[in-house]
Amino acid sequence: MSITENRGGSSDRTGLRAGGSKTSLRSSSKRYGEKLAMGVLIGAAGLSVLVTVGIFFALLIPSISFFREVPVLDFLTGTRWAPTFNNPDFGVLPLIVGTAWTTLIGLVIAVPVGLGAAIYLSEYAPNRVRNVLKPILEILAGIPSVVYGYFALFYVAPVVLKGWFGLEIGTFSVLSAGLVLGIMIIPTVASLSEDSMSAVPQSLRQGSFALGANKMRTTMRVVFPAAISGITASIVLALSRAVGETMIVALAAGTRAQVTTDPREAAQTMTGFIAQTATGESVPGSLGYNTLFAVGLLLFLITLAFNIIAGIIVRRYREVY
Amino acid sequence: MVLSLGLAACGGSDEPGGDGDTSVSGEIVVDGSSTVEPLTSAAGELFGEENSKVNVSVATSGTGGGFEKFCAGETDISDASRPIKDEEAAICETAGIEYTELRVATDALTVVVSKDNDFITCLTLDELKKVWEPAAEGKVTTWDQVNSAFPKEKIDLYGPGTDSGTFDYFTDEVNGEEGASRSDYNASEDDNVIVKGVGGSANALGYFGYTYFEENASTLKAVEVDSGDGCVAPSAETSADGTYTPLARPLFIYVKNASYADKPEVAAFVDFFVASDAEIAEVAQFIPLNDEQRTELETALATLKG
Amino acid sequence: MASIGAVVAKPLRAAKHGDRTFTSIAFLSMLWLALAFAILCLGVLLVDSFLDGRTRLDSNLLTRYTSRVLPDRAGARAAILGSAWVIATTAVLAIPLGIAAGVYLEEFADPRRWYNKVIEVNLSNLAAVPAIVYGMLTAGFALAIGMERRIVLAGGIALALLVLPVIIISTREAVRSVPQEIRHGSLALGATPLQTIWRQTLPAAIPGIATGAILALSRAFGEAAPLLLLGGLVFVTYDPTGLNSGFTTLPIQIFNWASQPQLAFQQVASAAIILMLVMLLLMNAIAIFIRNRYQNKW
């Protein structure tokens, strides 16, 4: 059920406002206790806006101090990130590249596996199987990211990558972090895609079968395209989560801020930098503190952009049955 | 010395809390060097066995980070692996924070490579400088550039971040200027991360305090340092007698005078620290002070009290 | 085992010839592979944690503090209590506010008004903000009002902000599913709208709200990033003494232990992970139980 339709769970529109609006629940009496309670409710809802405003300002104000000392263009296009050294440089590209690597590897894992699982659960699995497998997938989503990071550091890197695959890889790498990040995001892709595909009406499938298509064709040519908006939204959401994830990369990706083309290298992501700096010095007002917030602002804007894109895709391409 | 006997007895106890309880209680906030942290944490633990109502929390923001918080009044004690800098002292003075420097142990700053590394046993100071100086950034990337006898393998570097006293000390001694270093290495305030990183890669090199090497001697190899008189391996003896130079260095705790005077738990803790210094150093696997340094410590404590 | 065989064999026995083509079966195999991969990863993770940590699943884990001196006997007591304190604070802050906001948005807000549209968009954005940003917000807030950053209250605020959007959204879903007839009946009997909500709608929606709240809190339980930002990595050997006290939580303690190279710390970290997973499974199971048992079927 969507947020904008079927408000209040009813389509009864009778009485005073027959023009299609809600039956008014607004009190017409002057009970002050009621007014107070209403005020509390409105305040609570307004709080959410306050939070966003708060985030914006909390990130913006130190960033403004930062950008007074470091030109925005240097920040966005520089390729050397060494904010605390004697000859400092504030080019954020290495952090962005690090984030891009872990996100990319994560999506390469999560999208095929997630979609595969989703297609199976929604189209092929008998109900009993589905009722068992779906909660199991949900468990993957509930595991804390610090556990995943630990898993990457102590199992994936030494045992899987070095041992099974024989890769020349160190303790820290974007590959091990990205792989585990992907595993963590599988349920995000799987769950939302499965919901979208299940919501496609049976009549479309039956029409396809009636025309002689087999199950595979029906799934891929009819159901999948019909659910594409939900599926894309799930992928974009997974993307946001990958970009914003901190603990896995802090534990497993390393602290070497560099622009690299080799996923076996260690690299630092935006979130990894924030975590590392935050557990170090953080005296307000200093350039180091402000650097933290400048990167945080960039991160916030990026995830915000992805979220808005997801919203647009859902609204534009959603099929309403 | 009854105290140290009592300590030895309690050290082997199985009880989570102490049964001896003095009347001190409260919170002691410590921050600073990750090199010194094992020492302070061990001290806090041993102290806590006799004084279970005192909460000692030890954070590791790095020597520099610790001083920033110390001079902002946020901590009672600052762990440091180098003496306080003039700029930092000035900030403390402006903020009205008076402190006492106590040298509590010695450390042999150790350069390490992985046990799997088969081509490095000894490095001269010049070679170290070639690897770590700012000019090396982006240029010195394979081991054969450092010494033609080494293989052409990629150099993988790990080291403390710029807030670390270890970083300050190392760059000062090796590169000639405090804070001067290449920046393209895996930096971490947490020495354990360096241990992990170096241990996992045959071509990696890193540096940190001796304790971290000792605790991980199964995966790491200490590099002998040649400062002109031959290769010397780091150890308690070579640090104490001065042959492991220039990387043998003092470790400090800085105590806020006001905390010592106003908070009895801080006073009790610091007294305990000094009195049982040798015990604590041994438990935490640090190099204890020699007699001369001990006397200096006791004198310093006397000024704190008086 | 027989049912797995049945599941596997079903498409092969498919009546329609079209489902027995090579491509169809290859396709299905790939789907199975995908699913198997996901489940295999989960299995390996659980088994690996269990194998690593089983030697340390002892009472020391629960009753002792972390230790430099005796890593073999390190325990997670400070972390467990710290987590309890922080989650309790989070619940007290986030649940009433979340329910209040959700009720307003669902019952009273006119969706065509611009300010309510803004709130809508806002909520879905907030739900996607990275957790660490909430830590930064709380740090800035604490700085502005002069509150210490490393205390339980600050941690509770950061996590409450994190889960607030989730609680609001699940409250709305729960309230939305209460049929209009209930409300109308109450209004017809002369109750005011607020009385209706308080006495009829909300109680009917409680199971859904409770489920959402528990899932949100279990997410907060597993979060480390925002708290790292506030307090840093702290070696804590005491129980939290109140909202004003320093603290550590299970995820932070695990992160701390994972960074130590000694084998003993690795083992205790694995044991703590098992502990955490068990607690999370328990919370999820309670949520599902509530949903199944008390969910009203209209």
A260 contacts chain B (CB < 8 A):
no
pLDDT of A11 higher than 50: no
For A42-75, the pLDDT digits (tens) are 888 888 888 888 998 889 988 999 999 889 998 9
More confident residue, B76 or C65: B76
> Which pLDDT band, with edges at 50, 70 and 90, does C52 fall under?
confident
| Total-model pTM | 0.83
Nearest-10 Cα torsion for C135, C138, C142, C147: -80
Q: Which residue of A has its CA nearest to B134?
A: A87
Compute the Cα dihedral for B29, B33, B37, B43 and give only its sign.
negative
Q: Where are the beta strands (DSSP E) in chain C?
A: 234-236
List the chains bordering chain A where 3 or more Cβ pairs fall under 8 Å: B, C
Extract the tokens encoding A102: 């872990």
Surface of C (8-67) touching A: CB under 8 A? 10-11, 14, 16, 18-19, 21, 23-24, 27-28, 30-35, 37-39, 41-42, 44-45, 48-49, 52
Facing residue for A87 by CB, picked from B134, B186, B187: B134
pLDDT of A23 higher than 60: no
pLDDT of res. A2: 36
For A92-117, the pLDDT digits (tens) are 999 999 999 999 999 999 999 999 99
pLDDT of res. C13: 57
pLDDT of res. A320: 65
Query: Hey, are the CB atoms on A170 and B199 less than 8 Å from each other?
Result: no
CATH number of C59-294: 1.10.3720.10
Extract the tokens encoding C288: 């599902």
Query: Hey, are the CB atoms on B58 and C235 less than 8 Å from each other?
Result: yes
First-to-last alpha carbon distance for chain B, in angstroms, is 22
pLDDT of res. A321: 61
Mean pLDDT of A8-34: 50
Residue B251 dihedral angles phi and psi, to the nearest 5°: -115, 140
Facing residue for B190 by CB, picked from C241, C259, C262: C259
Query: Distance between CA atoms of C272 and C255, rounded to whole angstroms?
Result: 11
For C67-92, the pLDDT digits (tens) are 766 777 778 888 888 899 999 999 99
Mean pLDDT of C156-172: 91
> Which pLDDT band, with edges at 50, 70 and 90, does C261 fall under?
confident
pLDDT of res. A296: 92
pLDDT of C5 higher than 70: no
pLDDT of res. A284: 63
Beta-bridge partner residues of B73: none
Facing residue for A140 by CB, picked from C7, C18, C38: C38
Query: Hey, are the CB atoms on C235 and B27 less than 8 Å from each other?
Result: no
Percent residues over pLDDT 70 in chain C = 91
pLDDT of res. C233: 60
B115 contacts chain A (CB < 8 A):
no
Nearest to A246 by CA among B27, B76, B243, C227: C227
Residue B180 dihedral angles phi and psi, to the nearest 5°: -90, 115
Facing residue for B215 by CB, picked from C232, C245, C262: C262
Facing residue for A48 by CB, picked from C164, C223, C233: C164
For C181-211, the pLDDT digits (tens) are 989 999 999 988 888 888 888 888 888 898 8
Packed helices A127-142 and C22-53: angle between N→C axes, nearest 10 degrees = 40
Q: How far does C135 lie from chain A, in Å, by closest CA?
A: 10
B282 contacts chain C (CB < 8 A):
no
Number of CB pairs < 8 Å for B and C? 67
Extract the tokens encoding C146: 């002069």
Burial of B179 (0-12, 13-18, 19+ CB in 10 A): middle
Packed helices C152-176 and C77-103: angle between N→C axes, nearest 10 degrees = 40
Digits of tens for pLDDT over chain B (306 positions)?
333 333 333 333 333 444 445 578 888 999 888 889 889 988 988 888 888 888 888 887 788 888 888 998 889 999 998 899 898 999 999 999 999 999 998 888 999 999 999 999 999 999 999 999 999 888 899 999 999 899 998 899 999 988 788 898 999 999 998 888 998 899 887 788 899 889 888 899 999 988 889 888 999 999 999 988 889 999 888 887 778 878 888 899 999 999 998 999 999 999 999 998 888 888 877 888 888 888 888 888 888 876
More confident residue, A78 or C56: A78
Query: Hey, are the CB atoms on A281 and B204 less than 8 Å from each other?
Result: no
pLDDT of A5 higher than 70: no
**Residue ranges per structural domain of chain C:** 27-55, 59-294
Q: Could you give the C-alpha distances from A164 to A155, A158, A168, in angstroms and in order?
A: 11, 9, 11
Query: Hey, are the CB atoms on A286 and B197 less than 8 Å from each other?
Result: no
Q: How far does A260 lie from chain C, in Å, by closest CA?
A: 25
Q: Which residues contact C155 (CB under 8 A, 6 or more apart)?
A: C86, C89, C226, C227, C230, C231, C247, C249
Q: Look-up: residue for tokens 């303790």? A: A171
Nearest to A115 by CA among A41, A200, A191, A17: A191
Query: Hey, are the CB atoms on C19 and A216 less than 8 Å from each other?
Result: yes
Q: What is the mean pLDDT of chain A?
A: 84
> Which pLDDT band, with edges at 50, 70 and 90, does C8 fall under?
low
Compute the Cα dihedral for A210, A213, A216, A222 and give only its sign.
negative
Q: How far does C288 lie from chain B, in Å, by closest CA?
A: 38
Beta-bridge partner residues of B114: B220
Q: How far does A258 lie from chain C, in Å, by closest CA?
A: 22
C80 contacts chain B (CB < 8 A):
no
A156 CB neighbours in chain C (<8 A) are none
Q: Look-up: residue for tokens 């025309």? A: A211
Cα angle value A186/A191/A193 (rounded, 5°): 100
Furthest CA-CA distance within chain C: 73
Mean pLDDT of C168-172: 89
Query: Hey, are the CB atoms on B134 and A170 less than 8 Å from each other?
Result: no
Extract the tokens encoding B215: 């605790």
Burial of A168 (0-12, 13-18, 19+ CB in 10 A): exposed
Contact, C194 vs C225, CB < 8 A?
A: no
